[in-house]
Chains A and B, each alone.
Chain A
Amino acid sequence: MPELMLDGHALRVAEGTSVAAALALGGDGCTRTSVSGRRRAPLCGMGICQECRVTIDGRRRLACQTLCRDGMQVETRP
């Protein structure tokens, strides 16, 4: 069971859990702040809408298409 850091908080999840699901399990599920300053959460769940883009280990990636790995650092705020 991988353990990852979500905005500085540790969370252990089941193998195969997506980062998008982990963000909802460990917090409010939000992934980014829109250009007009509102929080957003995953919409399409399948890699199309880009609402779930987060920073994972320093790289911009889609939370819904990325599986949790041990030691991952996920940031949802700029």
Chain B
Amino acid sequence: MNEYADLLIVGAGPAGMAAALAAAPSGARIVMLDDNPLAGGQIWRDGPQASVPVQARQLRERLQSHRNIRHHPGTRVIANPGPKQLLVEDDEHGWLISYDKLILCTGARELLLPFPGWTLPGVTGAGGLQALIKAGLSVQDQRVVIAGSGPLLLASAATAKKHGANMQCIAEQASLKAVAGFATQLPRWPNKLLQSFTLFDRHYRTGTHVLAALGSDRLEAVRLHQQGKIVELACDRLACGFGLIPNVQLGQALGYALEGQALAVDAWQASRVDHYAAGECTGFGGSELALVEGAIAGHAAVGDFEAARQLWPRRARWQGFAKALNRAFALDPRLKSLARPDTLVCRCEDVPHGALAGHTNWRSAKLASRCGMGACQGRVCGGAVQHLFGWQPSAPRPPFCPARIETLMSLDDTPPAP
């Protein structure tokens, strides 16, 4: 069942949805892929315990009303076997999609840094806990500590409390001065100011970071460095995330340039001819920025440059918010020394921090230790070692994620032997 798209969009979060809706009136044949079971990305992740905002529901309904948009949920990109061609797989099939234009809206993932005990069951990412709760995880009467950095901590805490969690602490590593400085700028973006009031929690502590998760077979307590003191809190769950890092692997493999840790794009959200990117994979900025970037990319990809240009001022406004956010929540260098020699860095291959000592780059460490060569292909430890040691991850090679043999075999076009 090979498929052709005038416009292929990878990722159905805010940027991908906005891109599809902007491009749809052109009549182009649009295919949208997404790894998740439902459109909406992580911010509007749906589930039995999720309350998806009206805006997201309306976007989903509008997508369904366009007959020239096909959405494949639960679908991953496995390889790029030829120019303008991707091999994809869902839970049942593998197939090839050829495209004329491509927009990557691959979003961001959490920066997860290793610390003693972080592999214990009960420890999740901060956004990770929120996603799991939306999907039906119960936290009723559980003692929860949320730690790391950025506004996602408060959002995750709000979801946990709404579902009956007993919040013990929200540990923000940034200083009170940095967070307060950010808060004073919020009136520039009134809806963000309002959001911050609704999310605030009395257990919020600045200048506080995790030292270790404690427990033998599962999490029992967490040790925190809290404004100069060491404290231990008994808890059932620790949700720990240190901000977001853009998902650039597919872009790298397709020859997109990088700017810092994000995909580089021009004013039209293009990275190279016929190849665009929008949303968090081009740098963290929140759903408002992702929506406007997605719309610009969608208009530009179908040649409606005037409609794209009209959105530039709105994009600039939300880029300002992203800059203020990234400044305020810059990570404390002390977070680089949480791991001990026996702390696992690569959770797939169980490679401890001590095994990486003496290496000067990612490739040498991989070859010697298998760090980053497991099932996640370095998506977790690659972000960590980039932060800890400054090692730049290389562009991934296909298959980009674990795939079925049948899917890979669909690439073989030699006729079967008689």
Contacts and interface: CB of A to CB of B under 8 A. Distances in A.
Interface in B211-226: 217-218
Instruction: Point out which of B46, B47, B136 has the most chain A C-beta atoms below 10 A from its C-beta.
Output: B136
A15 interface: yes
Contact-size category for B:
35 or more
A14 B350 contact: no
Given A44-B112, A46-B36, A50-B348, A22 B136 contact: yes
A64 B132 contact: yes
B125 interface: yes
B46 A50 contact: no
Contacts of B110: 44
B151 interface: no
A53 to B, nearest CB: 6
Nearest to A34: B350
Interface in B339-379: 347-350, 374-376, 379
Nearest to A20: B132
Contact of A14 (B109, B136, B349): B136
Contact of B380 (A42, A48, A53, A66): A48
A49 B132 contact: no
Contacts of B37: 18, 65-67
B40 to A, nearest CB: 12
A24 B402 contact: no
Interface of A (DSSP majority class): loop
A70 to B, nearest CB: 15
Contacts of B45: 46
B91 A46 contact: no
Contacts of A73: none
Contacts of B121: 28-30, 39-41
A65 B350 CA distance: 23
A50 B402 CA distance: 9
Contacts of B112: 43-44, 49
A37 to B, nearest CB: 9
A25 to B, nearest CB: 6
Contact of A42 (B132, B349, B376, B379): B132
A49 B137 contact: no
A13 interface: yes
B127 A46 contact: yes
Contacts of B347: 34, 40, 43, 49, 51
Interface string B229-243: 000000000000000
6 contacts: A20-B132, A21-B136, A25-B136, A43-B125, A48-B376, A65-B74
Interface of B: 35-37, 42, 45-48, 74, 91, 109-110, 112, 119, 121-125, 127-132, 135-138, 217-218, 347-350, 374-376, 379-380, 402, 404
